[in-house]
Amino acid sequence: MNTINTHSEQRGRRGRHGRHGRHDDELGGEHLTATAPAASAASASASASASWTVVPEPVTSPDAVLLRRAYYAEVAGRYWKRQVTEAEIDQGLLDFPDDGLLPPTGGFVVGRRGGEPLACGGLRLLDHATAELTKVYVDPRARGTGGGAALLEALEAQGRALGAERVRLDTRSDLVEARALYARHGYAEIPAYKSGPYAEHWFEKRLA
């Protein structure tokens, strides 16, 4: 089960990609660039679930780029109901850059199972007390193996390290697996905390 989330506020070609919505970050239902103390804390709490290891990593690393491309291909493909082209993936990554996913305002992690990069996830601060999940993805070959739980554990630890008191996210109605994942891990559905034509469900989890 996987999760997916992207942004959607542009027109023309950007509008086409924006239709996937930020909620797509939840497609990895089974579901950082390192600098500053927050990154160190996140590194120290790098988590493993079963044979999974999840650690902070720059969004520009080779493995992170491959996973972000796979994430976008699945988000777009599910929305358009067809396979997307490499050019469309290129444009989508340009339209929705992840350069803000690094301390002190966010971060990015890569999950590996048996040493192979098969999952990723990002987190950004909305304000000093609220973090938001994004780009949560697990490769279809590895779903059902605990990758989603490992990603959430690592991302929540990073949120605490950044000073967040709660984690939020929004998702689409068709991403049933994502909603089930979050519910299993303590995320409660809440009223809309933001507007957007593709946000249909909103979740929050308090960080202890």
Where is pLDDT greater, at 179 or 18? 179
Q: Is residue 184's pLDDT more than 50?
A: yes
**What is the average pLDDT across 5-29?**
40
136: Cα within 13 Å, side-chain hemisphere: 39
- Does residue 165 contact residue 130 with C-beta atoms inside 8 Å? yes
Angle of helix 147-161 relative to helix 36-44, nearest 10 degrees, comes to 140
pLDDT of residue 54: 98
**Residue whose token pair is 């305002």:** 105
**Beta strands, E only, 61-171:** 106-113, 116-127, 130-138, 166-171
pLDDT of residue 27: 56
Q: Is residue 191's pLDDT more than 80?
A: yes
Q: Is residue 25's pLDDT more than 90?
A: no
The Cα 137–Cα 156 span in angstroms is 15
- Does residue 164 contact residue 129 with C-beta atoms inside 8 Å? yes
Pairing status of strand 166-171 against strand 52-56: unpaired
pLDDT of residue 133: 95
Query: What are the structure tokens assigned to 133, written together?
Result: 């999940």
pLDDT band of 20, cuts 50, 70, 90: very low
Q: Is residue 11's pLDDT more than 50?
A: no
pLDDT of residue 43: 45
pLDDT of residue 23: 37
pLDDT band of 45, cuts 50, 70, 90: very low
Q: Which residues contact residue 152 at a Cβ distance below 8 angstroms, ignoring those fewer than 6 apart?
A: 31, 121, 136, 181, 185
- Tally DSSP H helices, then E strands, for the chain: 6, 7
Residues 49-86: tens digit of each pLDDT: 559 999 999 999 999 999 999 999 987 898 889 999 99
pLDDT of residue 168: 97
pLDDT of residue 2: 39
Residues 155-170: tens digit of each pLDDT: 999 999 999 999 999 9
Residues 102-150: tens digit of each pLDDT: 999 999 999 999 999 999 999 999 999 999 999 999 999 999 999 999 9
